[in-house]
Amino acid sequence: MALTARRLPPWRWVRIGLEVAGTVAAWIGGFELVKLATAGEFSGVAQYYVLISLFLFVGLGSFRLYQTLRKERYANISPHLHDIQHAIRDIQTYIDCHRPLQEAPKEQVELFCDLIKDKMSDVLTHLQLVFTSITATHCRTSIKLVYRINGHHYYYTMSRDRGTGQQLINMDNKRVDTNHDPLSKNKPFSKIFATDNESWYYTCADLESDPEFTSTSYTAYDPEFAERAVPPRRRMPWSKKRDGQWVLPYRSTIACIIRQGPAKSVPNDKTIALGFLTVDSESRGVFEERWDVQLMFSVADALFHPLRLYLEIQNQNEPAAP
């Protein structure tokens, strides 16, 4: 079926014409009102009236243009959203068809898990393209899973988008080998992982100015850096220079939990949380909480079952965690 351009109905054109005419009439009416109120000093006041009106029109027009461009960016991500769901579906099918048997050798299980992680990179790469398109900034995406040792929870990066994953693979492996990332030392992750919390996500437009932000990533990117960075301050409102040092390659972020919560159709009402889906940007103030968080949750929820199967397969030859 061929697609045709959508045409506005005649009544919409009439409405637009009336709105334009009403705006012009209101401006002229205001001009005449100023003329009557100022009498002899009309000339100078009229100039201010025209200038103020011009600034208002330009400002409102710029704001409207920004809103329109943002909406167009959301409209342009539809193919990437389809690619994400397509890739997740294929991962689920691959697990169902090629899952290793319980008695499979450890090498076969490890190879299978590596293939799943590689396929997850495709999902994250499409998600990265979604947010790069929306924000017009360089973004990174990742899946972080939680594991337990001696009753303490840790997290690790299971997969990243392809570009970032190739750059940080050695650092990510080292963080897992050394159990570098206790969940308790990452306050945002700890909060949304807690069973008594009901927000299930963390977002921040400027991590440098968030006094609640703590993370072990400081020492991962710079081993000599303190785990808790002192919140830097701007020297002047117009200056980009800040006090202190920021070592992380991102300044704004969204993290959504990957979980199965209680549901009417699920007999077990216990919440099961596997980890986090994250996106971050090197720029500040680029994410729209109202829309982008829901976009992240749509992917995080779809990832729950493939990731749960992945963890079951990964751990089938491992002793149970204490």
Task: Tell me the pLDDT tens digit for each residue of 8-67.
Answer: 566 666 666 666 676 666 666 666 666 666 655 555 666 666 667 666 666 665 555 555
The rounded mean pLDDT for the chain is 81
> Is residue 319 situated within a structural domain?
no
Residue 51 and residue 126 in one domain: no
Residue 86 and residue 51 in one domain: no
> Is residue 199 situated within a structural domain?
yes
C-alpha to C-alpha distance for 144 and 146, rounded to whole angstroms:
7
Backbone angles phi, psi at 281, to 5 degrees: -135, 150
pTM of the model: 0.76
Residue 34 and residue 117 in one domain: no
Task: Tell me the pLDDT tens digit for each residue of 203-217.
Answer: 999 998 888 888 999
Apex CA 206: angle with CA 202 and CA 207, to 5°? 65
Report the first-to-last Cα separation within the chain, whole angstroms: 59
CATH number at residue 124: 3.30.450.40
| Residue where a domain terminates, one of 32, 51, 72 | 72
Which of 50-59, 107-116, 241-250 ranks highest by mean pLDDT? Answer: 107-116
Residue 164 and residue 250 in one domain: yes
Measure CA 106 to chain center: 35
Residues 186 and 216 sit within 8 Å (Cβ to Cβ)? yes
C-alpha to C-alpha distance for 76 and 222, rounded to whole angstroms:
37
Residue 41 and residue 89 in one domain: no
Residue 50 and residue 182 in one domain: no
Residue 65 and residue 212 in one domain: no
Whole domain around residue 67: which residue ranges?
12-72
Residue 223 and residue 100 in one domain: yes
